[in-house]
Amino acid sequence: TVPSEIGQLSNLEVLDISDNALSGTVPVQLGDLISLRHLDLSNNFFENQLSPALGKLQMLEVLDISYNWLSSTIPSEYGDMISLTSLSLDYNYNDESGYFTWGMHGKLPTELGKLKNLQHLHLNDNYLSGTLVSEIGQLFLLETLHLQNNFLLGPIPNEYSKCVLLEELLLEENNIDASFGMPEDVCRLPELGLARVDCDVSC
């Protein structure tokens, strides 16, 4: 586990403890590292609910908690991390050897639309549900949107066409009904080079 005393390192700007065998919950005290710009906790065994306290990290640019065993909703407070350029919570499940967790679940918080500097949003391979939120269309700097392999519902918001820098839009393996189709304005995005939805819903 990560010791709670880590929250005393108030001048710390980079914390990379990825690719270890750390377990337990993500420490609430990380929210006290107000100078932090880069936080990488990926490829560990962190479990349970994510703390809203990380939302206090308004200087944080990169947050990566992918490839863990989290069973958590996405706290709405994460919309307060206004400096974020990359948010990765993908691949949070484990079903090997009879051990099973439910990964990131619940609905996509509309507060994600407040992350105006976000370039990469990777929430794929989890158990997210509910409809795709139009507020993602407010992320005008977004380049990659990876939401594949969840339980998300359509329609695909036409507002995504406002993400004029979008290069990758991955929505396959969700519960998006083919009757909705892909909005033509999204298909016309000038930088879009990779768009994947279930095969009968495409550009």
In Å, what is the CA distance from 76 to each residue of 24, 33, 118?
A: 22, 19, 16
Q: What is the pLDDT of residues 65-82, one digit of tens each?
A: 999 999 999 999 999 999
Tracing tokens 């990379």 back to the chain, one arrives at 16
Structure tokens at 74: 């996405």
User: What b/e sequence results for 156-169 when a residue is b if at least 16 CB atoms lie within 10 Å of its CB, and e otherwise?
Assistant: bbebbbbbeebbbb
pLDDT at 95 over 70: no
DSSP labels for 108-119?
Answer: PPGGGGG-TT--
* Chain CA centroid to CA 110, Å: 12
pLDDT at 98 over 80: no
pLDDT at 182 over 80: yes
Confidence of residue 202 (pLDDT cuts 50, 70, 90): low
Strands 127-131 and 62-64, bridge-based pairing: unpaired
Share of the chain above pLDDT 90, in %: 87
Element (H, E) at 65: none
Q: How many CB atoms lie within 10 A of CB 102?
A: 14
- The better pLDDT of the pair 176, 201 is held by 176
pLDDT value at position 181?
81
Confidence of residue 21 (pLDDT cuts 50, 70, 90): very high
pTM for the complete prediction?
0.95
109-186-196 Cα angle (round to 5): 80
Q: How many CB atoms lie within 10 A of CB 51?
A: 18
Strand, helix or coil for residue 185:
helix
Q: What is the pLDDT of residues 125-163, one digit of tens each?
A: 999 999 999 999 999 999 999 999 999 999 999 999 999
Amino acid at 154: G
Q: How far apart are CA 70 and CA 92, in angstroms?
A: 6
